[in-house]
């Protein structure tokens, strides 16, 4: 059963307008600054701004009512699966996905999971080329009927992100989902952070995730694709990491978990015009042996041993151990799951 029927190109602007309508009514940050500024502002100007703010606040649409727009028809009926194909709910054949941070490490492993079950996966990263493991991952993907394609695309470039995702969706006449895995780390005591450092980390780890999700949602609404998004958070969004001073990183990951809940509320219901039906969930990994974490071990002696002793399994994770979770969240296997955070941390936060 297709979850993303092709529609005529002349329908796209109308469908897309449902996404952008609320944005056009938003109150600008400049106006907020004018209202809250300590500098004197003409009384009439202030009154006009407040009146406009009040008017727009009263006209901003509420989230769609889930009972009025239920998310039905997402998973194939049981009779379609039984006796037809093993693990049919996990089959991604012909579906199109974007994975940010996909040049190497966790992002590439998650992209592999989608491609190895038949998905067409576009990996975004700011690096000029993919990492060492790319060729082998691409070969395996083709062997199982999918493909991996690399695109140099920085999530901080919102306009470029829009263009690249739109190009992919237009090429395939669909977009079925996203894994937002791009992120950076920086270690420093709280009192040593500069505004510029904090803003850069939040721009990549939080704003970059949000811009990725919204860019993809525009195309999924445009082509009426009922799909799924997986935002990569961290157990660090729920706890303070013992032995590691990373207050902004941890805060950025907590923000991603909250973002997923809100996007799920807004996009999961299916509107009368067929748009929506997008599930949004998080994965919160524990400590993984990635290049970024290996760098942390170089910076903080004894950190690896400490982390290994802090979870119930006495070891750190490999990136490949999260492939099953990504496949679960991006496929019909998780058709009744949205707005949730899947913590996979070897028991670290359980004691």
Element (H, E) at 201: helix 195-202
Helix axes 29-36, 43-59, angle to 10 degrees: 130
DSSP 268: S
The DSSP line for 63-127 is PPPTTTS---S-SPPHHHHTTT-TTGGG--TT-EEEEETTTSHHHHHHHHHHHTTT-EEEEEESS
253 a catalytic residue: yes
C-alpha span between 330 and 60 (Å, rounded): 31
CB contact at 8 A, 167 and 160: no
CA angle (209, 214, 217) in 5-degree steps = 125
How far is the CA of 156 from the CAs of 85, 90, 185, 209, 247, in angstroms?
Answer: 41, 32, 15, 9, 21
Handedness of CA 324, 330, 331, 334 (dihedral sign): positive
* Alpha carbon 209 to its chain's center: 5
Catalytic residue, chosen from 122, 249, 272, 306, is 249
Give the distance, in angstroms, between the CA of residue 165 and the centroid of all CA atoms in the same chain.
13
**CA 25 to the chain's CA centroid:** 25
Annotated active-site residue 249? The verdict is yes
Question: Looking at the DSSP assignment, which residues form a beta bridge with residue 232?
Answer: 283
Enumerate helices (H) and strands (E) in the chain, giving the number of each.
Answer: 13, 7
Options 222, 224, 253, 323, the catalytic residue: 253
Residues with catalytic roles: 249, 253
């Amino acid at each position: 059963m297709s979850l993303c029927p092709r529609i005529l190109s002349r329908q796209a602007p109308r469908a897309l307008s449902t996404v952008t309508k609320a944005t056009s009514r938003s109150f600008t940050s400049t106006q907020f600054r004018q209202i809250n500024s300590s500098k004197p502002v003409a009384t009439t100007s202030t009154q006009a701004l407040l009146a406009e703010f009040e008017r727009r606040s009263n006209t901003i649409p509420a989230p769609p009512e889930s009972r009025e727009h239920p998310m039905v028809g997402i998973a194939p009926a049981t009779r379609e699966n039984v006796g037809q194909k093993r693990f049919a709910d996990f089959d991604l054949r012909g579906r199109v996905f974007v994975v940010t941070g996909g040049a190497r490490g966790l992002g590439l492993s998650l992209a592999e999971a989608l491609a190895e079950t038949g998905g067409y996966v576009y990996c975004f990263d700011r690096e000029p080329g993919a990492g060492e493991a790319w060729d082998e991952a691409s070969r395996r993907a083709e062997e199982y009927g999918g493909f991996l394609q690399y695109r140099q695309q920085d999530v901080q470039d919102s306009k470029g992100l829009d263009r690249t995702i739109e190009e992919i969706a237009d090429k395939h006449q669909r977009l079925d989902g996203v894994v937002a895995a791009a992120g950076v780390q920086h270690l420093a005591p709280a009192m040593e952070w500069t505004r510029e450092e904090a803003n850069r980390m939040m721009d990549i780890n939080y704003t970059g995730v949000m811009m990725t999700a919204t860019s993809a949602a525009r195309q999924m609404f445009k082509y009426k694709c009922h799909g799924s998004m997986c935002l990569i958070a961290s157990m660090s969004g729920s706890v303070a990491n013992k032995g590691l001073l990373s207050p902004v990183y941890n805060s950025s990951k907590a923000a991603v978990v909250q973002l997923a809940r809100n996007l799920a509320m807004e996009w999961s219901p299916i509107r009368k015009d067929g748009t929506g039906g997008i599930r949004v969930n998080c994965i919160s990994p524990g400590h993984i042996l990635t290049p970024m974490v290996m760098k942390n071990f170089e910076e903080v002696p004894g950190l690896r041993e400490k982390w290994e002793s802090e979870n119930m399994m006495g070891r750190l994770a490999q990136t490949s151990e999260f492939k099953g979770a990504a496949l679960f969240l991006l496929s019909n296997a998780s058709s009744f799951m949205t707005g949730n955070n899947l913590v996979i941390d070897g028991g670290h936060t359980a004691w």
